[in-house]
A and B are shown apart, each in its own frame.
With several copies, the nearest count.
Chain A
Amino acid sequence: MIAAPLDFYARRADFPALSHHAAHSGDRRPLIYLDHAATSQKPQVVLDRLMSAYIERCANVHRGVYAQSEAATRDFEGVRRQIAALIDAPDSQSVVFTKGTTESMNLLAYSLGQCVVQPGDEVLVTQLEHHSNFLPWQELARSRGAKLVVAQVDEHGRLSPHAIAQKLSTKTKLLACTHASNVTGELIDVRSICQLAKQHGTITIIDGAQATAHLPVSVRELGCDFYCFSAHKMLGPFGVGILWGRAALLRTLPAWQTGGGMVLSVRETESDHQSIPHRFEAGTPAVAEVIALGAAVEYLQGIGLSVIAAQEEILRTETRARLRQVPGLRLIGPEGPGVPVISFVLDGVHPHDVATALAAEGIAVRAGLHCAEPLFAAMGVRGSVRVSLSFVNTIEEIETLCSALVRIGALFR
């Protein structure tokens, strides 16, 4: 058995949910949380920052002149710079705060989409996408009279740059592609894909929702035009998403939502909008939540994203190996580099029955289509059980999972 380095065990104490939870009432076992891809648990430092934001600087940002509002504004804008540094962006004015990855994608589909997609153009997505990076483009294509082109995965669900290359042409105005799959964990070679896209003048939009908690990300190295992700999947609070865009391009985009905070002046018939990033941030943002995201970024960087990636790779490999030993269990998805998200089916047992039976033992996993119907259709699979890990998970937890799966298989068959 491969033991995790001791300090990773110690990290568990940073997450109050991991010791607090019981599964069902009366059950005193601690929670085994294997659903980090849905939302990650939050370390105490994030919750502390959230509380102090709500108590010491509970004010609206950008407009107040009193201490709390100035402090909130300073911290809020400080997190913008932290995010820029986290993803190695050249500047922080191109970091836009949204509600989540889903809203980031919708913003782009409307604002960018209306600008660059004309009737007859093509918008390229892939079968690997989460619905949040699929439906906005489907809708854009429909509303603009453009064609939605879908790059195909192979029978294992693998997406190769080659599959993208086949569909790219000068008609391809936009390419939306995930950095890592929320079903199979597959890590996509975004760098090569963006290089290919550039050759056709195609603008690239990358869905980083499953990447930013797991590996160092450099938008400069990836060479993408836009990169979107969610705070709640990277140890941060709910209600905050990020849209990063190349400043030169972002600056050219019109506003999408309008309202307070995004205008320079308002007249009865027309209005002047602010420059980036504020033009895209209409209304009161999730002030305290954005501030608390700063603590999540510090926490991740404190461990180091390369260190996290290395530890999670150990966990992922070991988990896959042990799952394979469960009778009747079949892993779904390709071999190769990935984030610690693993899908499988258990022969003769429906994924939801597996998940419910695991839940009864205090093990939280997800079952179903994981908001990725096109991928399941392409793989010819009706649904999967998904185990998604983080560096706080342990091999002991995986052992408990596997022995539970053995028992569940026997029970239902």
Chain B
Amino acid sequence: MNEALAKLYQEVILTHHRKPHHFGPLPDATQQVRLVNPLCGDEVTIAVRIDQDTIAACHFDGYGCALCRASASLLTLSVRGQSLEAVRALGHTLLTFLQADPASQTPEGIGDLIALCGVREHPSRRRCATLPWEALLTIVDDATE
């Protein structure tokens, strides 16, 4: 595996891809959003239970590539128990980071999500990683309007 590929498919990504967290429907969801990636037809559904401006639970479902699954799995871990405000900030920080130049600095506070950084060198795959976050931000934006 060459360098660019190793950076894209880091072990963290492959682990989440093989065994994603919180995969499957969330029975008592209060909100959910489904997004489709027109490039590949992939789809991801992000479902959350919001309780007093906090994300009490978050699941994802759908069909996607390793990048999309890993991104969604990481998402469910990093937003659980967080306030909507914090999640919104995190989401925007991450999207900006992933869409930036590969040479740009890593923002603070994104934790494990740094593992997604390889998509910056693969513009055709960027959307795979951002799709779950776009879905989540749609929910958060709606909920805080």
Which of A62, A65, A373 has the most chain B CB atoms inside 10 A of its CB?
A: A65
Among the 9-residue stretches B64-72, B77-85, B90-98, B131-139, the one with 4 or more Cβ atoms under 8 Å from chain A is B64-72
B66 contact from A70, A263, A412, Cβ within 8 A: A412
Count residues of B near A (Cβ-Cβ below 8 Å): 25
Do A412 and B17 touch (CB < 8 A)? yes
Q: Min CB distance, A365 to chain B, in Å? A: 13
Q: Which residues of B contact A274 (CB under 8 A)?
A: 38
A70 contact from B36, B67, B122, Cβ within 8 A: B122
**A368 is an interface residue with CB less than 8 A from chain B:** yes
Q: Which residues of A contact B9 (CB under 8 A)?
A: 353, 357, 411-412
Do B124 and A65 touch (CB < 8 A)? yes
In the complex formed, the residue of A with least CB distance to B38 is A264
Q: Min CB distance, A216 to chain B, in Å? A: 30
Do A70 and B124 touch (CB < 8 A)? yes
A353, B36: Cα distance in complex, Å: 17
Q: Which residues of B contact A360 (CB under 8 A)?
A: 1-2, 4-5
Do A373 and B41 touch (CB < 8 A)? yes
**A265 is an interface residue with CB less than 8 A from chain B:** yes
Q: Which residues of B contact A65 (CB under 8 A)?
A: 122, 124-125
B4 contact from A24, A411, A412, A413, Cβ within 8 A: A24
**B39 is an interface residue with CB less than 8 A from chain A:** yes
A385, B70: Cα distance in complex, Å: 21
Given contacts A274-B38, A352-B65, A368-B39, contact A412 B14 (CB under 8 A): yes
A268, B109: Cα distance in complex, Å: 46
Chain A, interface residues (CB within 8 Å), range: 20 to 34
Q: Which residues of B contact A73 (CB under 8 A)?
A: 123-124
Q: Which residues of A contact B1 (CB under 8 A)?
A: 357, 360, 407, 411
Contacting B at CB under 8 A, from A207-237, are: none
In the complex formed, the residue of B with least CB distance to A382 is B63
Do B39 and A27 touch (CB < 8 A)? no
**A296 is an interface residue with CB less than 8 A from chain B:** no
A369 contact from B40, B66, B122, B123, Cβ within 8 A: B40
**B8 is an interface residue with CB less than 8 A from chain A:** yes
In the complex formed, the residue of A with least CB distance to B5 is A360
Q: Which residues of A contact B42 (CB under 8 A)?
A: 350, 352, 382-383
**A192 is an interface residue with CB less than 8 A from chain B:** no
Q: Which residues of A contact B125 (CB under 8 A)?
A: 65, 352, 356
**A20 is an interface residue with CB less than 8 A from chain B:** no
A382, B42: Cα distance in complex, Å: 8
Given contacts A382-B41, A411-B9, contact A350 B122 (CB under 8 A): no
**B44 is an interface residue with CB less than 8 A from chain A:** no
A407, B9: Cα distance in complex, Å: 14
B64 contact from A350, A357, A373, Cβ within 8 A: A350
**A312 is an interface residue with CB less than 8 A from chain B:** no
A233, B4: Cα distance in complex, Å: 30
Contacting B at CB under 8 A, from A237-259, are: none
Q: Which residues of A contact B8 (CB under 8 A)?
A: 356
In the complex formed, the residue of A with least CB distance to B128 is A352
Do B123 and A74 touch (CB < 8 A)? yes
In the complex formed, the residue of A with least CB distance to B69 is A350
Do A369 and B2 touch (CB < 8 A)? no
A272, B60: Cα distance in complex, Å: 24
Do B2 and A413 touch (CB < 8 A)? no
Q: Which residues of A contact B66 (CB under 8 A)?
A: 349-350, 353, 412
A24 contact from B2, B14, B67, Cβ within 8 A: B2
Q: Min CB distance, B103 to chain A, in Å? A: 14
In the complex formed, the residue of B with least CB distance to A64 is B124
Q: Which residues of B contact A411 (CB under 8 A)?
A: 1, 9, 14
Which B residues fall within an 8 A CB radius of A? 1-2, 4-5, 8-9, 14, 17-18, 36, 38-42, 63-67, 122-125, 128
Known: A353-B9, A356-B8, A356-B125. 8 other contacts (CB 8 A): A264-B36, A264-B38, A274-B38, A356-B5, A360-B4, A367-B40, A368-B39, A411-B14
11 contacts between A and B (CB under 8 A): A65-B124, A73-B123, A274-B38, A352-B65, A356-B8, A356-B122, A367-B40, A373-B41, A383-B42, A412-B66, A413-B18
The 5 closest A-B pairs by CB, nearest first: A350-B65, A360-B5, A264-B38, A368-B40, A65-B124
